[in-house]
Structure 1
Amino acid sequence: MKKVFLIGSVASGKTTLAKRLSEKMNIPWFELDSIVHHQTPKGRIRRTPAEQLEVIMEIDKKGAWIMEGTDRDSYQYLYTMADTIIFLDTPLTVRKIRILLRFLKQVLGVEKCAYKPDLMMLKMMDKWTRDFEQNRGNLEAKLMQYKKKVTRLKDGSKLNDLL
């Protein structure tokens, strides 16, 4: 595993697993939300799909990587680029609880985030979760195309099985 594409829904545990993999394998990890939404001194701006591809290609030139995020149209090429695809398929109830706990921690200032943790963002996370479930069939069909390099996990506790 030198190029790992880690995908899953909101609050599936992608970032936690990516950090752990990165430490164990000594490979840099990149949060795709940070590539899509670039932080500037004036705030977050959304890169175009072409700009996102440019950033990802620069990262790819440097060698091994772990990229984690949801399944967005703007970075479909990662399925081909990756030598390993990990689908973190955490149960829906676990994700919903995590979304609520994350929101509370962010509002209380216990957990940092790059966005404003307000009720609108909480509603958006719920919407993205529903969208993910409604479009699950499309993702499953896509994963079938790459089945030789796909690993499905229900949670990140099986990390040692991957290595």
Structure 2
Amino acid sequence: MKKIFIIGVVASGKTTLAKRLSQKVSVPCYELDSIVHHQTSTGRHKRSAEEQIEVIKEIDIHGTWIFEGTDRESYQCLYEMADTIIFLDTPLWTRRIRILKRFLKQNLGIEKCHYKPDILMLKMMYTWTRDFEQNRSGFEAKLKKYKEKVIRLRDNNDLDFT
């Protein structure tokens, strides 16, 4: 595994898995949210799809990588570029609990985030989760095209690091 794309819906455990895997195999990991929403001296700015692809291609030039994120149109190149695609298919009830816990931790200052953890964002996370489940069949069809390189996990602890 030299180029790993970890994909899943909100609160599936992508970032946690990417960081653990990065340490284990000594490969740098990148949060796709940080590529989309670029931090500058004047604040966070959303890159265009073309700019996002440019950043991804620039990282790819340097060799090995782990990208983690949700399924966006601008990330489609990663399905082709990756030699391994890990789909974190965490149960819906687990994700719903994680979304609420994350919201509470962020508002208590226990967990950092790159966005404003307000009620609107909380609602959006639940909306994205619902939308993913309603459109799951389309996502599953996309994964079938890459079945030879897809690993499906129900939990971010299911990957054997030995």
Q: Percent identity?
A: 69
After superposing on structure 2, the runs of 4+ consecutive aligned residues of structure 1 that deviate more than 4 Å are none
Equivalent-residue separation in structure 1 for 2:56 and 2:19 (angstroms)? 18
Give 2:37's aligned amino acid: H
**CA apart distance, 1:84:** 0.2
After superposition, the C-alpha distances for 1:28-60 in whole angstroms (9 at most, x for unaligned) are 000000001101122111100110011001100
Find the residue that maps to 1:156 and give its secondary structure.
coil
TM-score (norm 2): 0.98
The number of aligned residues is 162
CA distance in 1: counterparts of 2:43 and 2:124, whole angstroms:
19
User: How do residues 44-63 of structure 1 correspond to structure 2 at under 5 angstroms?
Assistant: 44-63=44-63
What does 1:1-163 correspond to in 2, within 5 Å?
A: 1-160=1-160
Provide the C-alpha distance between the structure 1 equivalents of 2:139 and 2:160, rounded to a whole number of angstroms. 25
Uncovered stretches (5+) of structure 2, i.e. residues with no partner: none
Tell me the CA shift for residue 75 of structure 1.
Answer: 1.1
1:152 is paired with a residue whose SS is: strand
Secondary structure, counterpart of 1:67 in structure 2: strand
RMSD of Structure 2 on Structure 1 (CA): 0.9
Give unpaired runs (5+ residues) of structure 1. Answer: none
Q: Aligned partners of 2:110 and 2:41: how far apart in 1?
A: 23
Q: Which residue type is aligned with residue 70 of structure 2?
A: T
Deviation at 1:156, TM superposition (A): 1.2
1:159 to partner: Cα distance: 2.1
